[in-house]
Structure 1
């Protein structure tokens, strides 16, 4: 469905979280921890299944990483540089203290505690990136399994990056827009748009469109349809799909327009570059 494309502006959000973390021997084990979380999230090692390494409660995190030290180091030995593995294996408790000890409120966001714990969110965002590609080919349908799974994943990521130092305001805002866009697909509004797009009915009797194609792929024209021709669009949707399709029309159109504007601006910027 044309206005539910999420890929272009999600990639920007995902890119920020996917920037390479440099290997270091000065005590910073971000690169190793990032690789560990990725492997644990994907279940690439059997030992990671016995404990939730993505715990957010420091006390549980401390206990789990302590009792599952051998598992962590097993994964680190395979996924990390020799230097970082050696550092972790010899100073594991120091690493654990940094990872699980909440610093004072005045601590800057550059502190290792925030840096390390924010890495937990990366694998979820990678998954969202892949699922976003899949969802763009799925026709809107109420309670579609893929849509519901995406909604759940968005909620998990929102919770993960909610601490101020785990992400920027722009990242949180972008994720909220993505989440709203996904949730919009689970509405009668979206189902109606999909129906009209699929059936491509003759809309020539709706002179209020003034020549605009309801199913146009032109971003600028799509924006005009849901702004200048909004009343006309609502009438068409109500006629073809019934009252339920337009019950939350204003809110649904607002979400739709935010998506369209993102896509339009992104396309314009790419064309100018």
Structure 2
């Protein structure tokens, strides 16, 4: 298996699976579907806090991964956790391109965007807001704050901005 470690390389299939795995993990965190996630700040945008959360919450994280990810990602994370943690929580030296770090950090925004897109579709079909306007505004703010600074999510940020402008 070829895993991506250096800046500015194309993502390998394995790393796409890892990013997808992280999206699933963050979905579980946002939905509060697993009790142990409440004990750790997995959603922090501050790299030192994120590092601490993933270090102290390693067993919680790996338990969720075991249930929700492809075998190749599970194997990689179980055998290369320190390397994964470094890629996730250390800024790459080359900031002129999009790296695996950027994709992994952006993975935590995808569940927020997906939820908003679902709400938007429902709203168009029914003509009604399912949630309160204040709840939707809070979700929009949370999604915006998550996506700002994620270069590879600029298009998604634009979609969220357009949808949230309608609320």
CA contact (8 A) 2:102 2:150 kept: no
Q: With the length of structure 1 as denominator, give the TM-score of the two structures.
A: 0.51
Helix, strand or coil for the counterpart of 2:132?
helix
Aligned-pair CA distance for 1:104: 3.2
Could you tell me which of 66, 72, 82 is aligned with 2:55? 66
Q: Aligned in 2, Cα 1:23/1:32: closer, same or farther, shift over 3 Å?
A: farther
Mark the runs of 5 or more structure 2 residues left unpaired by the alignment. 1-10
CA contact (8 A) 2:17 2:70 kept: no
Question: What is the match of residue 109 of structure 2?
Answer: 121
Question: What is the match of residue 138 of structure 1?
Answer: 128
Could you tell me which of 129, 132, 148 is aligned with 2:134? 148
CA contact (8 A) 1:135 1:147 kept: no
Question: What is the match of residue 166 of structure 2?
Answer: 181
CA deviations over 1:157-187 (Å, ceiling 9, x no partner):
111111141412x4333322222111xxxxx
Q: How far apart in 2 are the matches of 1:128 and 1:28?
A: 23
CA deviations over 1:196-223 (Å, ceiling 9, x no partner):
xxxxxxxxxxxxxxxxxxxxxxxxxxxx
Could you tell me which of 17, 22, 46 is aligned with 1:57? 46
| Mapping for residues 89-128 of structure 1, pairs under 5 Å | 89-104=78-93, 106-109=95-98, 111-128=99-116
| Mapping for residues 192-231 of structure 1, pairs under 5 Å | none
CA contact (8 A) 1:29 1:84 kept: yes
Q: Aligned in 2, Cα 1:69/1:164: closer, same or farther, shift over 3 Å?
A: closer
CA contact (8 A) 1:23 1:32 kept: no
Pairwise CA RMSD of aligned residues?
Answer: 2.5
Mark the runs of 5 or more structure 1 residues left unpaired by the alignment. 1-20, 183-273
Question: What is the match of residue 156 of structure 2?
Answer: 171
User: Residue 44 in 1 paired to residue 33 in 2?
Assistant: yes
Q: Figure out how many residues of one structure are paired with residues of the other and give that number.
A: 155
Aligned-pair CA distance for 1:37: 1.3
CA deviations over 1:25-57 (Å, ceiling 9, x no partner):
x79621221221122222221111222311100
Q: Aligned in 2, Cα 1:118/1:36: closer, same or farther, shift over 3 Å?
A: same
Q: How far apart in 1 are the matches of 2:86 and 2:55?
A: 11
